Amino acid sequence: MGAALARAAQWTAAGSGTGTLEITPLNESLLNQIIKFAEDFGTRHPEEAAFVFREPLEWKTQLSCSVFGEGYEINGATVQSEAKGKDGQPLLLLTASTLRVRSFDQLSSLLQIAVEKKLKEAQACLEANRDPIVKILGPEYGTVEGEDMSMLHLLDKVKKSDDPETEMKMKINLLLHQLDLQLLNSSLKHISQNVRLNPAAINNEVNLLKNFSGKGEDTVLESLEYTSDYTFSNGCRAPPWRQVHGEICYLVIKPHDTDPLYITCSTAGVFLNGGQLKGKDDIDYERKSDVYKDIVTFLRERSPRFVENMAKQECNFFKEPTYEKNYQRMGAVDAQVSGQSQNLCDFTEKIVCEEVKSSAAGRRSIDKKKLEPSMKWKSIGLSASHSDKAAKKDTEEGRSTTVSLKIKKKASRISSESVKIQPASKCKTSGRFEDVSESSSETEEDEEQPVRRQEGNTDLPSEYWGIQKLAKYLKGGNPTATVIALCSMRDFNLAQETCQLAIRDIGCLEVLINLLDTEEIKCQIGSLKILKEISQNTLIRHAIADLGGLEIMVKILDSPDKDLKCLAAETIANVARFKQARRTVRQHGGIKRLVGLLECISVSSTGLTSYQAKDTEIARCGALALWSCSKSTKNKAAIRKAGGIPLLARWLKCSHANILTPVVGTLQECASEPSYRLAIRTEGMIENLVKNLSSEHEELQMHCANAIFKCAEDKETRDLVRQHGGLQPLSVLLGNSENKQLLAAVTGAIWKCAISGENVSRFREYKAIEALVGLLTDQPEEVLVNIVGALGECCQEPINRTTIRKCGGIPTLVKLLTGTDQALLVNVTKAVGACAREPENMMIIDRLDGVRLLWSLLKNPNPDVQASAAWAICPCIENAKDAGEMVRSFVGGLELIVNLLKSKNKEVLASVCAAITNIAKDEENLAVITDHGVVPLLSKLANTNNDKLRRHLAEAISNCCMWGSNRVTFGETKAVAPLVRYLKSNDPSVHRATAQALYQLSEDPDNCITMHENGVVKLLLAMVGSTDETLQEAAAGCIANIRRLALATEKAKYG
């Protein structure tokens, strides 16, 4: 741990003084690993946890005395542990704000007590104890530079003596050494991917953005300003006490479509801060968002208008030649590379200009040739007149080169203007501006690969020049020369990005697309083979779509040549990974043609003849293209209308993984639509999906599990998965925890299948519950959402709730309540609430402060999270030991839950009413919520047709009648008459709750009159004969109260 803190952690200090840990993702990752190690130390190594440190770890804490409970003695401002060392001194001592800890056992307990403050406590501890091993074991174990011989000396000492303390120190030292290696490995991975910012980089980016900001519809931002005009000698604008944390400056950014954004620029990246403090000339420095690598990346996530307007700007934004140099790898000193992009543009300009020759002229001497600026310079506003000439010459060149191949397309397609060739500097810039114009309403994302920069001011690789030479023959040769040029071009490594972008920059891409519209089959095949390879690049995909390549490929799908059809479909599969391309394929009839490729004479599951093999290959390529296209909702409908579902069902029966993968991939994409889920079930595809869960190919298994995940929303499908034996392979696949995509799909399928109780019983037999609990740690959020969702469904059975407790799952579930992912919070609150039905589980949840965390989630802005948290609170109150006191201990908690009755969401209202029903069982709490105005708020909800809300509202009203004059108030606020109408509902549970509420309200004479006027007696008389005893008693009691009032009235009237 000492080595990791000294070498990997990022420390800083303003001037002289003690260094502090910077607030960076790397440090946060290291701290979380150290916290996990310390928290688990007590359970994993109980003997070593009891070891008393040589000296206490001492630091200034933010914890107050009130957080310490059982196991600690509190005396005023002093807290000490009941556990003591051999010298009689407490193992934990808190005096004023100074904390001293002397064992791992106490350290573990302290971190569990700290809850959300544990990160701050760990940071403060490590800042105050830079080499904690010295204090834990002694100075002889301290971290040293160079060769560390302490382990050998210690081993020698253990051999010579039988001292148990020395042996214990040896074990602890080994454990800490192992942690050190883990931290160093983790930091190495992080550092290898990390990009550090400095003041110059930020200043350049700010100035660049300012050039494109201001009033007007096309500007990227309205304004962008520093919060401080003063610059320190190191280039920072942040005050020195914030520079200690690696912060450089603060900006106020006003986008066109959002409120002003207050951001912090630090060495670790850019993030949102708390903004201007009200009434103070200062800002809230606390981080409120993720950390982004630069300002532009941050803005892309926050402002769709910024993304849209950035796409409208030509390559001006990429003109800055020194933009790249301001980003430096950690630990490396930057070389001066100013002007490198400009030089690269010069190179590219020269290449293009040398190619612009008149076909009619016979003068081909390079020495006498006059260089003309390329069209790339036009977009940045230089040499306009020359650019026009160059464009004209380039167009003429295009016409002359296409005559020999009988090209039917207009030559204007290959002019530089239509190609939109970008400057070389743009080609080497990060792909973070990719797809900025694709603001799809759908949830799919383009599969982009990063665009790497050309490092330094080095020469372009030889492949670039080789392709440039081939371009001459490709553009100006006869069909034979063109085929030879295409074959030669394929000899290059077209998977290499340099070659891909060379083809685009030199103008070959438009020629390759024009070759598709010729009558020469060989030229078409050669062109498609190259386009298939290079279309893996995101920039190339967009260029192909812009040049009209997709329309031609769709036409080629009608070709009688099978090889040509295969290549066209595969290329479409690569290009159709963004919205515009998918739309183009659909609008030009591509979906129907691609579905047609799936048609075949027979689907064989064994050996294939050469004819069948070719048919299978055509179908595979068609399925690949449909898979890419199926990410669009309209395309899913088009595939169904074209008859794609029966054909996909037929191919699902074959045993060849190479075609099964795209077929199942298409099905799982389409399964998000109800019509497809019905078709998958009725066409008998579930059996084949289950069968392929046992395939040897992990990708195929993943897509099958994903398809089941989406289809298992329907009960009939869940039953079919069980009947075809799909639950066991799903349980087995939980063992493959390395493949996270597969794990996400499998856990999702288990979650949805577990909605059916019969499936839960099978999962219990297959030990899936224990496996799911074991996977709760160190998983990405998409996997955790599914795991917790599955556990929440499994917890409906009491035996499974016990299993989760025995496997140690409850503490992990409670920890997840502190997360931020909305879907995860919805599922984890449901799981914790289900576990709380068992009193033993509830004791653990209460001890871990789980109820307070659930209550705090009522403040979450997401209604789904609010509702789920409120439902979870109900069993917690029912099964807690002293529920009334526990609820009162939450400061402002009762007011918060009462105010949620103002929500517009029916599920939130129903869940809050259910919670209030339980809260009102305690008289003191009922008095408090009455003071907060619960009665009029409940009365306002009475006019509802939602049976779920009716039931819980009636129960809440019934319990709230037990205090003071609440019965009278309910009558005055017009709650009685609507309740009578609830008795006409078809839901028996609504009848029971309403009868109980009316019985309580009938204790007030005015309410009895209102009930009688609204015809309650006739409705209640029918319910007196119910088999539900509770309903019987409540109905009879209410009628009795009404009758007593009537008798008393008659007696008073007639004597």
* Cα–Cα nearest to 547, from 566, 527, 523: 527
Q: What are phi and psi of 822, to 5 degrees?
A: -65, -45
DSSP track, 218-279:
T-SBSEEEES-----TTS--S-HHHHTTTEEEEEEEE-SSS--EEEEEETTEEEE--EEPTT
Residue 909 pLDDT: 95
- Give the pLDDT band of residue 507 (cuts 50, 70, 90): confident
The residue ranking higher by pLDDT, 876 or 409, is 876
Cβ contact 667:680 at 8 Å: yes
**Dist. CA 374–CA 377, nearest whole Å:** 6
Residue 46 pLDDT: 86
- Token output for 9: 């952690």
Tell me the whole-structure pTM to 2 decimals: 0.58
Tell me how many degrees the CA angle 514-517-521 measures, rounded to the nearest 5: 110
User: Tens digits of per-residue pLDDT, 795-809?
Assistant: 988 999 999 999 999
pLDDT above 90 for 136: no
Residue type, 429: T
**Dist. CA 699–CA 657, nearest whole Å:** 9
Give the three-state DSSP class for 779. Answer: coil
Query: What is the length of the chain?
Result: 1055
- Give the pLDDT band of residue 667 (cuts 50, 70, 90): very high
User: Tens digits of per-residue pLDDT, 547-570?
Assistant: 999 999 999 999 988 899 999 999
Dihedral angle computed from the Cα positions of residues 626, 632, 633 and 636, in that order, rounded to the nearest 10 degrees: 0
467-492 mean pLDDT: 81
User: Tens digits of per-residue pLDDT, 206-258?
Assistant: 988 888 888 888 888 999 999 988 888 888 999 988 888 889 999 999 998 88
Residue type, 176: L
Cβ contact 1035:1024 at 8 Å: yes
190-210 mean pLDDT: 80
- Give the pLDDT band of residue 9 (cuts 50, 70, 90): low
967-971 mean pLDDT: 93
Residue 391 pLDDT: 38
C-alpha to C-alpha distances, 1055 to 657, 1042, 1047, nearest whole angstrom: 94, 19, 11
* Cα–Cα nearest to 630, from 676, 567, 683: 676
User: Tens digits of per-residue pLDDT, 853-874?
Assistant: 999 999 999 999 999 999 999 9
Helices (H) and strands (E) in the chain, counts: 57, 15
% the chain with pLDDT above 70: 80
37-60 mean pLDDT: 88
The residue ranking higher by pLDDT, 673 or 382, is 673
Q: Report, in this order, helix, strand and coil percent for the chain, each rounded to 5.
A: 60, 5, 30
**Dist. CA 903–CA 710, nearest whole Å:** 31
Residue 139 pLDDT: 79
User: Tens digits of per-residue pLDDT, 739-785?
Assistant: 999 999 999 999 999 999 999 999 999 999 999 999 998 889 999 99
Query: What per-residue string of b and e applies to 141-159 under the rule 16 or more CB within 10 Å gives b?
Result: bebeeeeeebeeebeeeee
In the numeric block, the tokens 């031609």 are attached to 552
The rounded Cα 44 to chain-centroid distance in angstroms is: 32
Return the H-helix or E-strand segment holding 98: strand 98-103
Give the three-state DSSP class for 351. Answer: helix
User: Tens digits of per-residue pLDDT, 526-554?
Assistant: 999 999 999 999 999 999 999 999 999 99
- Token output for 609: 């003849």
* Cα–Cα nearest to 220, from 257, 174, 173, 265: 257
Cβ contact 893:916 at 8 Å: no
The residue ranking higher by pLDDT, 832 or 32, is 832
Return the H-helix or E-strand segment holding 815: helix 809-815
Residue 467 pLDDT: 82
- Give the pLDDT band of residue 711 (cuts 50, 70, 90): very high
Residue type, 118: K
**Dist. CA 241–CA 246, nearest whole Å:** 10
pLDDT above 90 for 459: no
Give the pairing of strands 78-81 and 92-95. antiparallel
Cβ contact 925:894 at 8 Å: yes
> Given CA atoms 844, 845, 846, 848 in this order, what sign does their dihedral have?
positive
Window from 127-141, 384-398, 949-963 with minimum mean pLDDT: 384-398
Residue 916 pLDDT: 95
Residue 23 pLDDT: 66
What value does the mean pLDDT of the chain take? Answer: 80
pLDDT above 80 for 1034: yes
CB atoms within 10 A of CB 546: 16
**Dist. CA 1028–CA 603, nearest whole Å:** 60
User: Tens digits of per-residue pLDDT, 1007-1019?
Assistant: 999 998 889 898 8
Q: Tell me the Cα Rg of the chain.
A: 36
Residue 497 pLDDT: 84
User: Tens digits of per-residue pLDDT, 610-619?
Assistant: 667 888 899 9
Residue 395 pLDDT: 39
The rounded Cα 205 to chain-centroid distance in angstroms is: 27
pLDDT above 80 for 606: no
**Dist. CA 803–CA 795, nearest whole Å:** 9
Residue 19 pLDDT: 62
* Cα–Cα nearest to 563, from 590, 592, 532: 532
Q: What are phi and psi of 1007, to 5 degrees?
A: -65, -35
Residue 403 pLDDT: 34
**Dist. CA 1005–CA 177, nearest whole Å:** 78
Residue 1055 pLDDT: 56
pLDDT above 60 for 293: yes
HSE at residue 540, side-chain half, CA atoms within 13 A, is 33
% the chain with pLDDT above 90: 42
User: Tens digits of per-residue pLDDT, 332-372?
Assistant: 333 333 333 333 334 333 333 333 333 333 333 333 333 33
* Cα–Cα nearest to 191, from 331, 364, 71, 293: 331
The residue ranking higher by pLDDT, 434 or 107, is 107
**Dist. CA 745–CA 734, nearest whole Å:** 10
pLDDT above 90 for 450: no
